[in-house]
């Protein structure tokens, strides 16, 4: 065998070995790719309205208000191989990110999935509250126990789902109010609570303990605000998690509750978290979400202000970016797109 032939043979073997190693070597990265997109004005996988409202008159809209998602490959339970990561780096619609970006250390994939489900549930409630606030429909809030910490005074006395009715005789209307009232007492002082459980009120008196810093009096509960709506709103999105569809949920609820067509028949997609006050927040995976929206047919994409820089740099052809700072602003921008007055802020 000539020296040249021997060199080619050795090189070929090395390439094959490297290819085999690359296909088997797991790496601590996750591939983010465009995920499914769904019309909040349409139906879910079961053919049921994605957003269903009972107890209030609703109106149809033939247009689209799509929320978009990101899908991923990899993670602690099934890491991608080196070649998959390298291929993803070369694809414009795929992002390869460190594993801890999606799966924080000391958290399992199951825990991350559970947190995503919780965030979706919270975002739906915030979206409903934001929509009703935007329309001037009155709603009330209640402060409930989300979790009880082990080894703290509330353990065995309070439980998740308990509504905090009053503290030391003061009616409670928000979590922040409880925080303010608790901060006024000394560590070791009592806290007289009235809680509602299964529709019945009961009194619970707890002795406060010190928080981990040793400076603040606490009883060992994590509280959250829940909203009491004057009619029923159901949002069914299937196996989708995270808080980033909040803005689109709010817009769809408003559209269903008002006789005018919000979309004017247009295909509008978007993303962004939402607070009950209607403030829009940034999200992750903006590049992949824009790609998913454009592939589905969207021509307008509502973009949180905090994502504008990345979105502008990766905008697909044929997709107009409209900056969304608030729910009210997004609503006005859509009206302007349909021929109404007002400016349309862009990224």
Neighbour tally for 49: CB within 10 Å = 17
Q: Is 123 designated active site?
A: no
100 alpha-carbon distance from chain centroid: 18
Q: How does DSSP assign 68-81, residue by residue?
A: EEEEEEE-TTSPPB
Non-local (6+) Cβ contacts of 190 within 8 A are: 205, 206, 207, 208
Q: Is 171 designated active site?
A: no
Name the token pair of 2.
């000539």
Report the C-alpha gap between 85 and 90 in whole angstroms. 9
Q: Which of 279, 289, 315, 333 is catalytic?
A: 289
Backbone angles phi, psi at 314, to 5 degrees: -125, 20
Report the C-alpha gap between 208 and 105 in whole angstroms. 32
First to last CA, the chain: 64
Non-local (6+) Cβ contacts of 310 within 8 A are: 286, 287
| DSSP three-state, residue 116 | helix
Q: How does DSSP assign 124-160, residue by residue?
A: HHHHHHHHHHHHT---EEEEEEEEE-TTSTTBTTB-T
Site of tokens 């090395």: 14
Report the C-alpha gap between 44 and 73 in whole angstroms. 24
Give me the helices (H) in 210-303, please: 246-257, 286-296
Q: Which of 38, 123, 126, 244 is catalytic?
A: 244
- Give whole-number Cα distances, 340 to 128, 263, 326, 344, in Å: 26, 12, 18, 10
**What residues are annotated to the active site?**
244, 289
């Amino acid at each position: 065998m000539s020296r040249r032939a021997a060199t080619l043979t050795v090189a070929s073997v090395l390439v094959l070995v490297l290819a085999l190693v690359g296909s088997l070597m797991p790496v601590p990265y996750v591939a983010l790719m465009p995920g499914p997109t769904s019309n909040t004005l349409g139906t879910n996988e079961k053919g049921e309205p994605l957003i269903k409202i009972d107890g209030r008159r609703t109106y149809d809209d033939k247009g689209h208000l799509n929320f978009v998602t990101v899908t991923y490959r990899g993670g602690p339970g099934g890491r991608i191989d080196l070649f998959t990561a390298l291929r993803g780096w070369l694809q414009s619609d795929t992002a390869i990110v460190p594993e801890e970006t999606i799966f924080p250390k000391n958290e399992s994939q199951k825990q991350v999935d559970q947190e995503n489900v919780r965030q979706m549930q919270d975002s739906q409630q915030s979206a409903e509250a934001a929509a009703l606030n935007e329309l001037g429909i009155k709603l009330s809030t209640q402060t409930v126990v989300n979790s009880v910490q082990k080894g703290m005074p509330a353990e065995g006395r309070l439980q998740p789902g308990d509504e905090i009715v009053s503290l030391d005789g003061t009616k409670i209307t928000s979590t922040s109010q409880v925080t303010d009232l608790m901060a006024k007492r000394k560590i070791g002082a009592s806290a007289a609570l009235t809680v509602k459980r299964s529709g019945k009120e009961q009194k619970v008196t707890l002795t406060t303990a010190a928080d981990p810093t040793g400076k603040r009096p606490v009883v060992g509960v994590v509280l959250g605000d829940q909203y009491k709506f004057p009619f029923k709103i159901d949002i069914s999105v299937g196996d989708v998690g995270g808080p980033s569809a909040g803005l689109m949920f709010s817009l769809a609820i408003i559209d269903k509750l008002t006789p005018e067509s919000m979309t004017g028949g247009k295909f509008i997609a978007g993303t962004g978290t939402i607070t009950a006050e209607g403030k829009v927040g940034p999200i992750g995976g903006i590049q992949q979400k824009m790609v998913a929206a454009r592939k589905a047919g969207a021509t307008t994409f509502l973009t949180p202000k905090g994502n504008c820089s990345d979105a502008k740099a990766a905008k697909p052809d044929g997709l107009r970016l409209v900056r969304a700072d608030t729910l009210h602003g997004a609503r006005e921008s859509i009206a302007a797109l349909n021929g109404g007055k007002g400016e349309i802020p862009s990224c």
